[in-house]
């Protein structure tokens, strides 16, 4: 099988497993797991943040961040296609009682002017606008990267209006290897950042939430309440640490693979529209649902898996477990599809 459904399907390789099997562990709820502590320090240091918190998933890091930053009734400004709004089970409402102001925007990206317009005046009728949540790269936007200048403008709007700026950085490393922006400088514009170890980096489990000491202290309490206090988690944290130390630069290979798929797909008569490939996600739309299902069926017959997203769209995600040979085979399969 050649599995393009998501970059979460990777399995730990030999070296990563070796690091996991030999991890030193302790009870992390007591703060005594040396490997978890090292992972938290290492990732915080990497982004110039004071502290980090290892969590079971990126959904949890995002949800904890909202819960620490907000009080019930506070409002989040967020993209209508974002993971935090669309794919976290309504957790912003359920866990925190937050309200949302949804914005649209090309490829999942928000604009500073739209954010400024969405801020509600201090009036008893309105929720208090309190936080802006960004996603970089954007998942439903086909792996689009924020322009750094736009992020600086958004951060300025936030500063001037007392808003907290949170980043869902599930694929932040995909953005940073392409843009060569300094990690610490980039992170300095955000109050909190969630990074995923289990997406393109290839670790089996976990995400890290980053922020200042006080924020992470509170986040640790919320993680426990959300049932995310883990014990000898060093076994899985070691995979994350290995991933951070070894698997970032190679994301460029995934991006080249995605571009190669995109270049082939662009030329197919049955492709109606394809989003320009910037990182490891390829999103394209077909004429109708029937075409979509036929393309998926034909690729499945060749052992190629991918995702349906929306009525006429399909998504390929490249990752660590896709080889150059598999990209070549997929290109041949795509070229063979006649509708």
Ligand X SMILES: *Cc1c(COP(=O)(O)O)cnc(C)c1O
Write down the least CB distance from residue 83 to ligand X, Å.
3
**Per-position DSSP letters for 98-149, written without gaps between them:** -EEEEE--GGG---HHHHHHHPPPS-TTSPPEEEEEEESSBTTTTSBPPPHH
Q: What share of the chain is helix, strand, coil (3-state, %, to 5)?
A: 45, 20, 40
* Sole binder of ligand X in the list 135, 254, 278, 312 (CB under 6 A): 135
**Size of site (CB under 6 A) for ligand X:** 12
Q: Between residues 92 and 291, which has the closer beta carbon with respect to ligand X?
A: 92
State yes or no: residue 307 binds ligand X (CB under 6 A).
no
- Cβ-proximal residue to ligand X, closest one: 58
Q: Which two tokens stand for residue 251?
A: 């994301």
Q: Mark residues 190-209: x for contact with ligand X by CB under 6 A, - for none.
A: ------x-xx-------x--
Which pairing describes strands 75-79 and 129-135: parallel, antiparallel, or unpaired? parallel
Q: Between residues 170 and 216, which has the closer beta carbon with respect to ligand X?
A: 170
Q: Given its phi and psi angles, is residue 195 left (phi above 0), alpha (psi -120 to 50 degrees) or beta?
A: beta
Which pairing describes strands 207-211 and 51-55: parallel, antiparallel, or unpaired? antiparallel
CA 191 – CA 189 distance, rounded (Å): 7
State yes or no: residue 315 binds ligand X (CB under 6 A).
no
Write down the least CB distance from residue 285 to ligand X, Å.
20
Q: Between residues 7 and 75, which has the closer beta carbon with respect to ligand X?
A: 7
Write down the least CB distance from residue 40 to ligand X, Å.
17
Q: Between residues 205 and 327, which has the closer beta carbon with respect to ligand X?
A: 205
* Sole binder of ligand X in the list 10, 63, 139, 191 (CB under 6 A): 139
State yes or no: residue 168 binds ligand X (CB under 6 A).
yes
| The 3-state secondary structure of 173-185, one letter per residue | HHHHHHHCCCHHH
Write down the least CB distance from residue 252 to ligand X, Å.
19
Write down the least CB distance from residue 271 to ligand X, Å.
24
Q: Between residues 47 and 291, which has the closer beta carbon with respect to ligand X?
A: 47
Write down the least CB distance from residue 113 to ligand X, Å.
23
Q: Between residues 57 and 333, which has the closer beta carbon with respect to ligand X?
A: 57
CB atoms within 10 A of CB 325: 9
Task: Give the CA distances from residue 332 to residues 67, 264, 302, in Å, rounded to whole numbers and listed in that order.
Answer: 48, 9, 10
Q: Between residues 109 and 119, which has the closer beta carbon with respect to ligand X?
A: 109
State yes or no: residue 83 binds ligand X (CB under 6 A).
yes
Q: What are phi and psi of 217, to 5 degrees?
A: -60, -45
Task: Give the CA distances from residue 217 to residues 10, 192, 236, in Å, rounded to whole numbers and listed in that order.
Answer: 32, 13, 22
Write down the least CB distance from residue 239 to ligand X, Å.
14
Q: Between residues 130 and 315, which has the closer beta carbon with respect to ligand X?
A: 315
Contacts to ligand X from residues 41-70, by CB under 6 A: 57-59
State yes or no: residue 95 binds ligand X (CB under 6 A).
no
**Per-position DSSP letters for 12-29, written without gaps between them:** --HHHHHHHHT-----GG
Q: Which two tokens stand for residue 145?
A: 């990267």
Write down the least CB distance from residue 199 to ligand X, Å.
6
Q: Between residues 248 and 309, which has the closer beta carbon with respect to ligand X?
A: 309
Write down the least CB distance from residue 198 to ligand X, Å.
6
Q: Which two tokens stand for residue 139?
A: 């998942």
Tell me the CB-side half-sphere exposure of residue 107, using CA atoms within 13 A.
Answer: 19
CA 62 – CA 56 distance, rounded (Å): 11
**Site residues for ligand X per CB under 6 A:** 57-59, 83, 135, 139, 168, 170, 196, 198-199, 207
């Amino acid at each position: 099988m050649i599995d393009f459904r998501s970059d979460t399907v990777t399995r730990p390789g030999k070296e990563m497993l070796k690091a996991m099997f030999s991890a030193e562990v302790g009870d992390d709820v007591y703060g005594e797991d040396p490997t978890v502590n090292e992972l938290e320090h290492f990732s915080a240091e990497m982004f110039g943040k004071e502290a980090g918190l290892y969590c079971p998933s990126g959904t949890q890091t995002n949800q904890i961040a909202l819960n620490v930053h907000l009080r019930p009734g506070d409002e989040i400004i967020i993209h209508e296609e974002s993971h935090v709004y669309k794919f976290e089970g309504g957790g912003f409402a359920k866990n925190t009682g937050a309200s949302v102001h949804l914005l649209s925007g090309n490829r999942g990206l928000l604009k500073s002017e739209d954010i400024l317009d969405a801020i509600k005046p201090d009036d008893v009728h309105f929720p208090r606008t309190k936080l802006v949540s960004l996603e970089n790269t954007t998942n439903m936007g086909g792996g689009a990267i924020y322009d750094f200048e736009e992020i600086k403008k958004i951060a300025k709007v936030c500063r001037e209006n007392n808003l907290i700026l949170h980043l869902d950085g599930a694929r932040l490393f995909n953005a940073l290897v392409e843009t060569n922006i300094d990690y610490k400088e980039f992170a300095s514009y955000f109050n909190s950042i969630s990074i995923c170890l289990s997406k393109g980096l290839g670790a089996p489990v976990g995400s890290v939430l980053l922020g200042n000491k006080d924020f992470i202290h509170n986040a640790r309490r919320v993680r426990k309440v959300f049932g995310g206090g883990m014990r000898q988690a060093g076994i899985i944290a070691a995979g994350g640490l290995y991933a951070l130390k070894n698997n970032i630069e190679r994301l460029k290979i995934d991006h080249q693979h995605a571009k190669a798929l995109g270049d082939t797909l662009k030329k197919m008569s049955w492709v109606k529209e394809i989003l320009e490939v910037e990182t490891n996600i390829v999103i394209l739309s077909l004429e109708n649902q029937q075409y979509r299902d036929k393309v998926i069926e034909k690729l499945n017959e060749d052992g190629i898996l991918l995702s349906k997203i929306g009525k006429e769209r399909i998504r390929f995600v490249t990752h660590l477990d896709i080889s150059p040979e598999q990209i070549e085979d997929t290109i041949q399969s795509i070229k063979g599809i006649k509708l």
